[in-house]
Structure 1
Amino acid sequence: MLTNLRQYEAVDDVACRPVQPHELAAVAELRWRWVQELYGMPDTTLDEFAPRFVAWARDAKSSHRCMVMVRDDVVIGMAWLAITQRVPHPRAIERTSGDVQCMCVVPDERGHGLGGELIEAVLMWASDLGLERVTVHSSDQAVPMYSRHGFEVSPRLLQVEIGQSHAG
């Protein structure tokens, strides 16, 4: 667990750091608005979603860590690091890996390198936590950004969409 909640320096007057409990409602709103932007109006209102999201975030804090990007105490970006325990290996009993989830920056702040700064902060955090590797399931639009920050396509990382029709 990260014991020193240091700030991960970003550009300009922006800082990246682990979310503070009082910021979870702002993170919930950012998530709700991001879903609205991508898929249209969500099935639930923001007023219904936010308290449920905050409760989830508090309950999931051992497995899901949120890094926020703030300017003047306003959350302008977020990235979640889902942490998974891995099966012990004879050379390493304690093993963990991470997955970047729900990475976004508010629309007015995009295109200025802030997403990359947020990814760099998450990767430093993952290193501080001693994670073996970090993965991401990216949108096509964000692949170049992740690639610029060290993510590579792996021919051995496979997935299947559960709930979708598939043979087998």
Structure 2
Amino acid sequence: MDDIAIRPAEPGGLDAVARLRWQWVLENGEAPAVAREEFVRGFTAWARENASSHRCLVAVRDGTVVGMAWLAVVPRVPFPGALDRRSGDVQCVYVVPGERDAGLGGRLVDAVLELAREAGLERVTVHSSDRAAPAYLRHGFAPSPTLLHTHLARPKR
């Protein structure tokens, strides 16, 4: 595993990250709504436009991106004791099948949490699958009875 580097995604390498996202969707049996190259173009444009709020880390082996993790940074409403408040959300942690079960996902999560610490974030959340929840628990996340959410219907296209 020492031959895998974890680093920020480079703007010129966002197409590889987009292809990981595409692969993940296919793995989950979902039918993409657009063609692959259209998705790659749209994804890379989105990533560039949102680079100030969404930071991507990648795992690279021999020049090939084999994993990714995103940190979304969200400004929070100030209060008298802190005018600059921000929190984070871990998103899209994915490792290609051939690299799984060797701790790489955990290394990506740890790297995202370090990025959050360096940015001075108050807290970091994650919306996890049941399968991945134990991994997040091992890396310092805990269930919260006060963090609630609701699912909204997606607008029809």
1:15 CA displacement: 1.3
Aligned to 1:146: 136
Find out whether 1:112 has 2:99 as its counterpart: no
Q: Aligned partners of 2:46 and 2:92: how far apart in 1?
A: 14
Once the two structures are TM-superposed, the CA of residue 163 in structure 1 deviates from its matched residue by: 1.8
Residue 122 (structure 2) aligns with: 132
Structure 2 counterpart SS, 1:39: coil
Cα deviation for residue 16 of structure 1 reads 1.0
Work out which of the residue numbers 50, 65, 68 in structure 1 matches 2:58: 68
- Residue 144 of structure 2 corresponds to residue 161 of structure 1: no
TM-score between the two structures when normalised by the length of structure 1: 0.89
Q: Among 18, 23, 43, which residue is 2:33 paired with? A: 43
- Residue-by-residue CA offset, 1:121-142 (whole Å, 9 max, x unaligned): 0000110111111000000000
Indicate the percent of aligned positions where both proteins have the same amino acid.
57
Any gaps of 5 or more consecutive residues in structure 1?
1-10
What is the TM-score with the length of structure 2 in the denominator? 0.95
Shift in Å, 1:39: 2.7
* Unaligned 5+ runs, structure 2: none
Count residues with an aligned counterpart: 154
Quote how far apart the aligned CAs of 1:57 are: 0.4
| Counterpart secondary structure, 2:28 | helix
User: Which amino acid in the other structure matches residue 42 of structure 1?
Assistant: P
Task: Note the aligned Cα RMSD (angstroms).
Answer: 1.1
**Distance in 1 of aligned mates of 2:56 and 2:41:** 16
In structure 1, how many angstroms separate the alpha carbons of the residues matched to 2:80 and 2:66?
A: 43
Structure 2 Cα separation of the partners of residues 135 and 40 of structure 1: 25
